[in-house]
Amino acid sequence: MMKAIQLSTFGGPEVLKLVDIPVPEPGPGQVRVCVKAAGVNPVDTYWRSGANPTLSLPLTPGLDGAGLVESLGPSVTEFAVGDLVYFGGWLTGAYAEKAVLRVSQLHALPAGVTFQQGAALHVPYATAHRALFHRAGARAGDVILIHGASGGVGLAATQFASAAGMTVIGTAGTERGRQLVEAQGARYVLDHTEPHYLNRIPELTGGRGVDVVLEMLANVNLAKDLPLLSRGGRVIVIGSRGKIEITPRDVMMREADIRGLSLFNVADDDLRSIHAAIASGLHCGVLKPIIRDELPLSEAARAHTKVLEPGAVGKILLIP
Ligand code: NAP
């Protein structure tokens, strides 16, 4: 048996229970990992509350983790028992002492990267890379507004974009968050709780506007983002928690694009390329996952409350 967080009904954070359940056995093409750290992402809270109708109960959440390979399913040759790995994706859930994953969801933990950092890689960094390089087609010299730069995805995007020669304008809601965003490479940092903070964008871009907006809260910001774009600019909708009214003319006049992103849609081939970029960035030191809190597995409910509160400064982890 093993300890795991399980929900047997959808609802608030209180439905996350620490229970004893059987250790999962890896099937063909699968691997069991002894989980040393699990990443907490906002999407885990959406799943918990029942927003994903494809899920059935009982369920152990968690899409991000890192640990040691401890058992191989039939026909697995890519990994060996004892390998240090991080993983991204869901099969049995990362909020547990042990998790079973498909081989395609596992990646070697690069030398010098801790289990805690490994558990902060897949969802934030793969999303940030996908947004900048696949969906936005951003390149050196572009100006990128990262609207919500202090959280997991925003900090990853700040690091990726700065290292690739882009000018980052990042936003955060607290002084601590703004200092962190600046330290990760943003050229300018704005406070998204101030009433007129976006009025500075024309001055910061010499009147040209921004080439790309990475938007973490589109239901609040999308209408304000569109007039900030340069001609041919792109808004990448990464996060949204409701509806919003926009002025289509703002897109028309600039021949601008609003593009969605869902990490769940990324093909295995693209994921391999993304994780190669992550490994390279970690190796040469331009990517550095920022850990904000490490909580025991028993405090999963507190982690779910915290991850949705204002004041992000990096990743929250659960330690089994
Ligand atoms: P996170 O770590 O909780 O960070 C949330 C970010 O949103 C923080 O930087 C926060 O800033 C910022 N924020 C709060 N109010 C804002 C406002 N009015 N305007 C702009 N930003 C604001 O979450 P995350 O992991 O970075 O994820 C960000 C969003 O993307 C979430 O909604 C998540 O569900 C979504 N996401 C989507 C995908 C996908 O595949 N589409 C993948 C990953 C994440 P302060 O706390 O400093 O105020």
Q: Where are the alpha helices (DSSP H) in the chain?
A: 42-48, 115-118, 127-129, 152-163, 175-183, 201-204, 218-225, 248-254, 268-284, 300-307
- Evaluated on CA atoms 23, 29, 33, 39, the torsion sign reads negative
Which residue puts its alpha carbon closest to atom 2 of ligand 1? Answer: 151
User: CATH number of the domain at 124-263, out of 3.30.950.10, 3.40.190.10, 1.10.10.10, 3.40.50.720?
Assistant: 3.40.50.720
Structural contact between residues 108 and 84, judged by C-beta atoms closer than 8 angstroms: yes
- Residue entry with tokens 């990042």: 170
CA–CA separation, 117 vs 133, rounded Å? 22
Which residue puts its alpha carbon closest to atom 39 of ligand 1? Answer: 262
Which residue puts its alpha carbon closest to atom 5 of ligand 1? Answer: 151
CA–CA separation, 261 vs 135, rounded Å? 7
Structural contact between residues 245 and 269, judged by C-beta atoms closer than 8 angstroms: no
Single-letter amino acid, residue 161: A
Please state whether beta strands 167-172 and 188-191 pair in parallel, antiparallel, or not at all (unpaired).
parallel
CA–CA separation, 45 vs 304, rounded Å? 6
Looking from the CA of residue 263, the nearest atom of ligand 1 is: 40
Predicted pLDDT at 55: 94
pTM of the entire predicted model: 0.98
Structural contact between residues 162 and 185, judged by C-beta atoms closer than 8 angstroms: yes
Structural contact between residues 213 and 225, judged by C-beta atoms closer than 8 angstroms: yes
Nearest in space to 131 (alpha carbons), one of 295, 265, 13: 265
Compute the distance from residue 146 Cα to the ligand 1 centre, in Å: 10
Alpha carbon 279 to its chain's center? 16
Structural contact between residues 21 and 303, judged by C-beta atoms closer than 8 angstroms: no
Q: pLDDT digits over 200-224, tens only? A: 999 999 999 999 999 999 999 999 9
Pocket of ligand 1 from Cβ distances under 6 Å = 41-43, 123-124, 127, 147-154, 171-174, 177, 192, 216-217, 220-221, 238-239, 261-263, 307, 310-312
Compute the distance from residue 239 Cα to the ligand 1 centre, in Å: 6
Question: CATH 3.90.180.10 region(s) of the chain?
Answer: 2-121+289-319
Question: CATH 3.40.50.720 region(s) of the chain?
Answer: 124-263
Considering the segment(s) 2-121+289-319 as one domain, its CATH architecture is Alpha-Beta Complex (3.90)
- Select from 64, 171, 216 the residue to mutate for testing ligand 1; criterion: most ligand atoms less than 8 Å from CB: 216
CB-based contacts of 229, cutoff 8 Å, min separation 6: 209, 210, 211, 213, 235, 250, 254, 256
pLDDT tens per residue across all 320 residues of the chain: 999 999 999 999 999 999 999 999 999 999 999 999 999 999 999 999 999 999 999 999 999 999 999 999 999 999 999 999 999 999 999 999 999 999 999 999 999 999 999 999 999 999 999 999 999 999 999 999 999 999 999 999 999 999 999 999 999 999 999 999 999 999 999 999 999 999 999 999 999 999 999 999 999 999 999 999 999 999 999 999 999 999 999 999 999 999 999 999 999 999 999 999 999 999 999 999 999 999 999 999 999 999 999 999 999 999 99
Looking from the CA of residue 155, the nearest atom of ligand 1 is: 26
Nearest in space to 60 (alpha carbons), one of 90, 19, 89, 95: 95
CA–CA separation, 32 vs 180, rounded Å? 35
Find the distance separating the first CA and the last CA of the chain, reported in whole Å.
Answer: 14
CB-based contacts of 258, cutoff 8 Å, min separation 6: 222, 226, 234, 235, 237, 251
Which residue puts its alpha carbon closest to atom 20 of ligand 1? Answer: 148
Single-letter amino acid, residue 234: R
DSSP string over 98-130: EEEEEGGGEEEPPTT--HHHHTTTIIIIIHHHI
